[in-house]
Amino acid sequence: MRTDSSANTASSATKHSVRKAVIPAAGLGTRFIPATKAMPKEMLPVVDKPAIQYVVEEAVRAGLENVLMITGRNKRPLEDHFDGVPLLEQTLEKKGDHERLADVRRASELADIHYLRQGDAKGLGHAVLRGKLYVGGEPFAVLLGDDLIDEQDELLSRMIEVQAATGGSVVALIEVDPSEVSSYGCADIQAVEGEDYVKINELVEKPQPADAPSNLAIIGRYVLHPAVFDVLEETGPGRGGEIQLTDALQTLANSDAEGGGVYGVVFRGNRYDTGDKLSYLKAVVKLASERDDLGPDLRAWLKDFVQSGV
């Protein structure tokens, strides 16, 4: 018979089954040159916060307060952003500007963030593999900075539950227009009876539309079984000559060993892509127009702007 205390232990173990997040942030940001010539793309402001802060906040909301950022050359501003700034804090304190002081401190108090350089830029799979020592033998999350998930939508916590229930790895999927599949990892899936998640049969990294197994695309949220590390070590270069996380997950999807099996949570909430200039501009406008302080004026201006026929 299950006693109350064993039930509590089980539920708290499930709740804390994932504690660590790996955030790859070593990319060169070439799509945003010249803005990213001397500044990491992760520091581009989305309204008034750097994109990377949204991502760390999302991890923390899902209970992941241990964060490893995989960085590279020219990424020092990331470390500075999540650190204290005594001079600025003292100045704001003296002025009695408590609101801004709280904003400054929020970033440095958010999470326990560690930094590790990727070294050779050999692809996303290689960046994740760099987290092996930090992560150890626990399931962990990977969050890619180009995707922002609306804070009303609890995608990551659902993925953590699905990982605990299945014991495998979990990807987040969205439906995209078939013409867009070549920008994403793409999944062939099957339903799991009675569940809202799906089982992945096959994953293909950035297929041509004609070769795509479906229009279900992987977005930048993963909850992975640590078995992925051994697989990544054996995964050779794939698309673009890079070590692809998608290829390692394809191996896991076909594996019956411990940690095998890959599942998908289909996300139907709001996702903001900041990965290229046009999507980034749309994300800034959408997020600003939803804010109480900026939204009303911005929406009114946008309406006039559109009506003026520019």
List contacts with ligand G1P (CB under 6 A): 124, 144, 146-147, 184-185, 205, 217-220, 244-246
H helix count then E strand count, the chain: 12, 13
Measured from the CB of residue 109, what is the shortest distance to ligand G1P in angstroms?
A: 28
Return the number of the residue (50 or 264) whose C-beta is nearest ligand G1P. 264
Give me the phi and psi of 128, to 5 degrees please.
-65, -40
Beta strand 20-24 with 140-143: parallel, antiparallel or unpaired?
A: parallel
Neighbouring-strand partners of residue 224: 140
Is 242:124 a contact under the CB 8 Å cutoff? yes
Pair of tokens at residue 152: 């009303």
Of the two residues 168 and 220, which places its CB atom closer to ligand G1P in the complex? 220
Task: Kindly tell me which of 222 and 229 has the beta carbon lying closer to ligand G1P.
Answer: 222
Residue partners of 99: CB distance under 8 A and separation at least 6: none
Q: Report, in Å, the least distance between residue 42 CB and ligand G1P.
A: 13
Residue nearest ligand G1P, CB atom distance:
185
Least distance to ligand G1P, CB of residue 146, Å: 5
| Minimum CB–partner distance for residue 27 and ligand G1P (Å) | 7
For the bound state, the minimum distance from the C-beta of residue 115 to ligand G1P, rounded and expressed in Å, comes to: 20
Helix axes 51-61, 155-166, angle to 10 degrees: 50
Q: Would you state the structure tokens that stand for residue 75, as one six-digit string?
A: 């990424």
Q: Which tokens go with 213? A: 């197994």
Q: Can you list the positions of beta strands (E) in 30-184?
A: 45-46, 49-50, 66-71, 112-117, 140-143, 147-149, 169-175
Nearer of residues 105 and 286 to ligand G1P, judged by Cβ? 286
Shortest Å distance, C-beta 234 to ligand G1P: 18
- CB nearer to ligand G1P: give 162 or 219: 219
In the complex with ligand G1P, the residue whose CB is nearer, 30 or 190, is 30
Would you state the structure tokens that stand for residue 5, as one six-digit string?
Answer: 């205390």
